[in-house]
Amino acid sequence: MRVLSTSILLASFTVGSAFTSSTHTPSTFGLRIPSIFDHGTSPLSVSTTAKTAATTSLRMAFESPEEIEMDAEDRMLKSVDSVRKNLQSIRTGRANAAILDLVVVDYYGAPTPLNQMASISVPNSQQLSIDPYDKSITAEIEKAITDSGLGLTPNNDGTVIRINIPSITEERREELVKQCKSIGEDGKVALRNVRRDGVDAAKKLEKAGDIGEDNLKDCQDTIQKLTDKFVKEIESVIKSKVTEVQTV
């Protein structure tokens, strides 16, 4: 009986060790004991990547071509909006309140868009005037503008902040034109990525037997037309901005 008790105790100790070891996964009595660190095989753990993939899969699940097309159009619209916003931060040598749209101020620890904290006006073609609603944060606004990367130098009199917009050289204009075109190309890449996702989603529906080949082709054609439409819109926006930059 003592021998049997000792054997049971030893077996229990071995199994317990299997769940506490972080360097290997031992095998006991011909049975592989899954380690809590063995993410590849252990049913006791699910990796963060797997959870994220599952969530993404659920989020991207569509039941019809119409849903795919609506999602694609919505995402493409957001891509175009992103291009517009990025272009607003490019100086053209003329005062434009929109160039401050992306400036964010640290308002008592809360990042807040400048245009929500102050009235921004254009007294003349070479100057911006910023009148904060809360006069106690003019220093924070000044710092946010200086650190924004826009290359602007604010003048703070304690009540109103004024920004003189310097003229830009021809060389600088050429650099800005390239920057505009680069933003446009990034926008087109985003549109093509949306098109790819939409087509892949439609193919999955067709493969699962939820739609036929004709439905798949119609969906692909619709997504391509949306892509062409928004690509032209981006090209139009870029052309307009380039003209603005090149105008002296």
Question: pLDDT (tens digit, 9 = 90+) per residue, 170-218?
Answer: 998 999 999 999 999 999 999 999 999 999 999 999 999 999 999 999 9
Do 137 and 182 lie in a common domain? no
Same domain for 237 and 219, yes or no, is: yes
Look up residue 125 and give its DSSP letter.
Answer: T
CA Rg, the chain, in Å?
30
Query: Which amino acid, 201?
Result: A
Q: Count structural domains, the chain.
A: 2
DSSP SS3 for 154: strand
Tell me, yes or no, whether 79 and 174 share the same domain: yes
Decide: residue 55, CB within 10 A, 0-12 exposed, 13-18 middle, 19+ buried. Answer: exposed
**Which candidate, 233, 232, 227, places its Cα nearest to that of 196?**
227
- Residue 16 in any domain: the answer is no
Pair 218, 125 in one domain = no
Express each pLDDT in 81-127 by its tens digit: 999 999 987 878 788 888 898 899 999 999 999 999 999 999 998 89
